[in-house]
Amino acid sequence: MKAIGIYKNTSVDEENCFIEEQLDKPVAKGGDVLVQVKAVSVNPVDTKQRKMKEDDGNFRILGFDAAGVIEEVGEDVQGFEPGDEVFYAGSVARQGSNSEYQLVDHQVIAKKPSNLSFSDAAALPLTALTAWEAMFEKMHIPLDIEANKGKTILLINAAGGVGSIASQLAKLHGLTVIGTASREETEKWANQHGTERTINHHKPLHPQLEALDFDNDTVDYVFCMHQLDKAWDDIIEVIRPEGIIAAITGPVEGIKLTDLTSKSLTLVWEYMFTRTLHQTDSKYKQGEILTKVAELLEEGRLRTTKAEELKGLTAKNLQEAHKRLEAGSMIGKLVISV
């Protein structure tokens, strides 16, 4: 099978940033399924993993979002069979999806929403799992719409990959959603994906919240998806006493933890790959969350966050995708279809 990867860390400006190799097609055993990959999407974790790759002679396949068709199931797999269309994020501890075929643990996959194309579906797993785990598990935001009435969440970087699905999920569960965006196009995208009001994260947030036509100039929850260190002082200012802050990325240098004390704040760290990396008992929940997300997509209550699609899973397209990610101005998700 064809697989695209790296032997050592590379720059997106190098000519051979990615290499295409012919590898043996893997065999599904135990709880694994073998998936014929139809579409993948790229995430910041891809560029981080690329830069961290050790020059150890091993070929590393990146790619931590995919949609495809099950080709083969291991003897312990339940609930899936060959021919099933599925979508998943998988695990950073294993080879990724930038490959013709991929092995993945059946506990962390779900049936692809039937009304979505492979590429529309491939945009979602990693970001939907991140948003769901952060908000409905770690921040303990209730799934009960009534209980969230009158509660407000601030999403820092609402138009990004995680932001575009977090905003939809938050709105769907009854929260008032305020998101940050700093350009006309990101503002527009955020408003199309669940964000009710946008404010600009390059300006002080509190005066902008005060200027909105809401009862409150403070928020119950802050979900920071970009540059936590730069956003920190604004977050501490706008969050209510007993509020909860979730973060998925640093930098964290210079953050003063004493800022948490007077208001008794909680800081939640969400890393979607914790469950597969540490093989926690709870990893099956990722299959459950994706199943729930697929239902909401089928019901038309969520929409894909795919903003752009490159056709052809090639070394050149993958390099182009990493280049866009590193430029840091991504809107929604970039998908590569096979």
Query: Which residues, 66 to 125, sit near a copy of itself by CB under 8 A?
Result: none
On the question of a cis peptide bond just before residue 251, with omega within 30 degrees of 0, the verdict is yes
Tokens 């294993």 found at: 94
220 binds a copy of itself (CB under 8 A): no
Q: How far is the CB of 251 from a copy of itself (least distance, A)?
A: 9
Cβ atoms < 10 Å from Cβ of 114 = 10
DSSP sequence for 142-201: -S-HHHHTT-EEEEETTTSHHHHHHHHHHHHTT-EEEEE--SHHHHHHHHHTT-SEEE-T
Question: Of these, 7, 59, 214, 271, which contacts a copy of itself (CB under 8 A)?
Answer: 271
| Residue among 82 and 250 whose Cβ is closer to a copy of itself | 250
Count Cβ neighbours within 10 Å for each residue of 241-250 and write b for 16 or more, e otherwise.
Answer: eebbbbbbbe
**CA dist 46 → 62, 78, 161, 184 (Å):** 6, 30, 13, 27
Question: Of these, 268, 293, 321, 331, which contacts a copy of itself (CB under 8 A)?
Answer: 268
Stretch that binds a copy of itself, among 56-64, 157-165, 259-267, 298-306 (CB under 8 A): 259-267
52 binds a copy of itself (CB under 8 A): no
| Residue among 105 and 270 whose Cβ is closer to a copy of itself | 270
269 binds a copy of itself (CB under 8 A): yes
Tokens 């609402």 found at: 158
Question: Of these, 23, 172, 212, 277, which contacts a copy of itself (CB under 8 A)?
Answer: 277
Question: Of these, 19, 93, 147, 252, which contacts a copy of itself (CB under 8 A)?
Answer: 252
* Secondary structure element (H or E) that encloses residue 239, with its range: strand 239-247
Question: Of these, 152, 220, 270, 334, which contacts a copy of itself (CB under 8 A)?
Answer: 270
144 binds a copy of itself (CB under 8 A): no
- Rounded Cα distance, 38 and 338, in Å: 5
Report phi then psi at 271, rounded to 5.
Answer: -135, 110
Question: Of these, 82, 250, 312, 328, which contacts a copy of itself (CB under 8 A)?
Answer: 250
Query: Which residues, 280 to 319, sit near a copy of itself by CB under 8 A?
Result: 280, 282
- Helices and strands (H, E) in the chain, number of each type: 11, 15
48 binds a copy of itself (CB under 8 A): no
Q: How far is the CB of 78 from a copy of itself (least distance, A)?
A: 24
Question: Given the rule CB under 8 A, which residues bind a copy of itself?
Answer: 133, 138, 140, 240-242, 250, 252, 255-258, 260-271, 274-275, 277-278, 280, 282
